[in-house]
Chain A
Amino acid sequence: MGDNKKIGELYLINGPVVKVRKATGFMMHEVVKVGDSKLTGEVIGLEGDNATIQVYEETSGLKPGEPVEGTDRLLSVTLGPGLIGKVFDGIQRPLDALRVKSGDFLQRGIVAPPLDLDKKWDVEVEIKEGEEVKEGQVIATVKETPLVEHRIMVPPGISGRAERVKASGKYTIDTTLMYVANEDRKHKIRLYQTWPVRVPRPYKEHLMPDEPLITGQRVIDTFFPISKGGTAGIPGGFGTGKTITQHQLAKWADAHIIVYIGCGERGNEMTEVLEEFPELVDPRSGRPLMERTILIANTSNMPVSAREASIYTGITIAEYFRDMGYNVALMADSTSRWAEALREISGRLEEMPAEEGFPPYLSSRIAEFYERAGKVKCLGPEDKIGSISVIGAVSPPGGDFSEPVTTHTKRFVRCFWALDKSLANARHYPSISWLDSYSEYNTELEGWYAENVNAEFSKLRARAMSLLSEDDNLQQIIKLVGEDVLPDDQKLIVRVAGIIKIGYLQQSAFSDVDSFCEVKKQFEMLRLILMFYNRSSALISKGVAISELLNGDILNTLMRMKENIPNDRLEQFKEIEKELKNFFDSLDKKYENIKEAS
Chain B
Amino acid sequence: MPLKEYIGLSRINGPLIFIENVKNVGYNEVVEVSYRGQTKLGQVVQISDEFAVIQVFQGTEGLAVDTTRVKFLGKPLEVKVSDEILGRTFNGIGQPIDGGPEIISGTYRDINGLPMNPSSRMYPRNFIQTGISAIDGLMTLIRGQKLPIFSGNGLPHDRLAVQITKQAKLKGEKAGNFAIVFSAMGIKHDDAQFILSNFEESGAIENVVTFLNLADDPTIERIATPRVALTAAEYLAFERDMHVLVIMTDMTNYCEALRELSTFRGEVPSRKGYPGYLYSDLASIYERAGMIRDREGSVTQIPILSMPNDDITHPIPDLTGYITEGQVVLDRALHRKGVYPPIGILASLSRLMKDGIGEGYTRKDHPHLSSQLFAAYSRVQEVRALASIIGEEELTDIDRRYLRFGEAFEREFISQGFDEDRSIEETLDLGWKLLSYLPSSELTRVSEAELKEHYKEIKR
Contacts and interface: CB of A to CB of B under 8 A. Distances in A.
A239 B117 contact: no
Contacts of B385: 479
B268 A353 contact: yes
Interface stretch (B151-159, B177-185, B248-256, B284-292): B284-292
B200 interface: no
A482 B386 contact: yes
Interface string B6-33: 0000000000000000001111110000
Q: Which among B49, B113, B124 has the highest number of chain A CB atoms within 10 Å?
A: B49
A388 B30 CA distance: 48
Contacts of A302: 115
B458 interface: no
A444 B327 CA distance: 42
A425 B378 contact: yes
A479 B123 CA distance: 43
B346 interface: yes
B283 A300 contact: yes
A426 B120 contact: no
Given A105-B117, A347-B267, A304 B396 contact: no
B112 A60 contact: yes
Given A107-B114, A398-B318, A484-B394, A300 B279 contact: yes
A95 interface: yes
Given A61-B76, A239-B349, A347 B276 contact: yes
Nearest to A297: B118
B46, B120, B122: most-surrounded residue (chain A CB, <10 A): B120
Contacts of A238: 318, 321-322
Contacts of A484: 394, 396
Contacts of B323: 266, 300
Interface string B308-330: 00000111001101110111000
The interface centre, meaning the residue of A58, A337, A357, A427 with most chain B CB atoms within 10 A of its CB, is A427
Interface in B354-396: 354-355, 367, 371, 374-375, 378-379, 385-386, 389-390, 394-396
B321 A61 contact: no
Contacts of A266: 287, 323, 325
B308 to A, nearest CB: 13
A103 B112 CA distance: 17
B270 A356 contact: yes
A63 B27 contact: yes
A559 B446 CA distance: 12
Nearest to A510: B354
Contacts of B390: 480-482
B396 A61 contact: no
Interface in B73-119: 76, 110, 112-119
Interface string A156-170: 000000000000000
B28 A559 contact: no
Interface string A53-96: 00000111111110000000000000000000001000000011
Contacts of B39: none
Interface stretch (A10-18, A184-192, A217-225, A527-535): A10-18
B259 to A, nearest CB: 14
B244 interface: no
A104 B318 contact: no
B121 A268 contact: yes
B269 interface: yes
B133 to A, nearest CB: 18
Given A12-B48, A399-B313, A105 B114 contact: yes
A427 B371 contact: yes
B123 A62 contact: no
Interface in A96-110: 96, 98-99, 102-107
Interface in B272-310: 276-277, 279-280, 283-284, 287-288, 290, 292-293, 295
Contacts of A451: none
A577 B394 CA distance: 37
Contact of A99 (B120, B378, B441): B120
Nearest to A334: B322
A102 B385 CA distance: 57
A343 B114 contact: no
Given A300-B323, A356-B271, A478-B386, A400 B313 contact: yes
Interface residues of B, number: 78
Nearest to A551: B441
A301 B120 contact: no
A391 B292 CA distance: 30
Contacts of B49: 11-12, 64-65
A146 to B, nearest CB: 23
A106 B116 CA distance: 6
Main secondary structure of the interface of B (DSSP, over half): mixed
A503 B445 CA distance: 10
Contacts of B447: 563
Contacts of A103: 117, 120
A99 B117 contact: yes
B423 interface: no
B236 interface: no
A24 interface: no
B347 A425 contact: yes
B228 interface: no
B46 A344 contact: no
B118 A95 contact: yes
Chain A CB within 10 A, most for which of B24, B277, B280, B326? B280
B113 A61 contact: no
Interface stretch (A197-205, A271-279, A462-470): A271-279
B352 interface: yes
A220 B385 CA distance: 31
A300 B116 CA distance: 11
A268 B267 contact: no
Interface in A242-292: 262, 264, 266-268, 270-272, 274-275
A397 interface: yes
A502 B279 CA distance: 35
B24 A63 contact: yes
Nearest to B277: A344
Interface in A370-412: 395, 397-400
B378 A271 contact: no
Nearest to B29: A61
A95 B119 CA distance: 6
A102 B269 CA distance: 36
B115 A299 contact: yes
B118 A12 contact: no
A502 B441 CA distance: 13
A340 interface: yes
A344 B394 contact: no
A104 B276 contact: no
A361 B451 CA distance: 57
A541 interface: no
A132 interface: no
A268 B318 contact: no
Contacts of A300: 279-280, 283-284, 287, 323
Contact of B119 (A62, A274, A400, A555): A274
Nearest to A86: B119
A301 B287 contact: yes
Given A13-B46, A427-B378, A482-B396, A104 B327 contact: no
Contacts of B325: 266, 268
The 10 closest A-B pairs by CB, nearest first: A300-B283, A398-B313, A238-B321, A301-B287, A60-B28, A105-B114, A426-B378, A12-B48, A104-B120, A64-B49
Given A95-B119, A480-B390, 16 more contacts: A63-B26, A95-B117, A99-B117, A266-B287, A267-B118, A267-B121, A301-B116, A340-B276, A343-B276, A357-B270, A398-B271, A425-B378, A426-B346, A479-B386, A556-B444, A560-B444
16 contacts: A13-B46, A19-B48, A64-B25, A99-B119, A239-B321, A239-B327, A264-B280, A301-B283, A301-B288, A347-B267, A398-B314, A427-B375, A481-B390, A482-B390, A560-B448, A563-B447
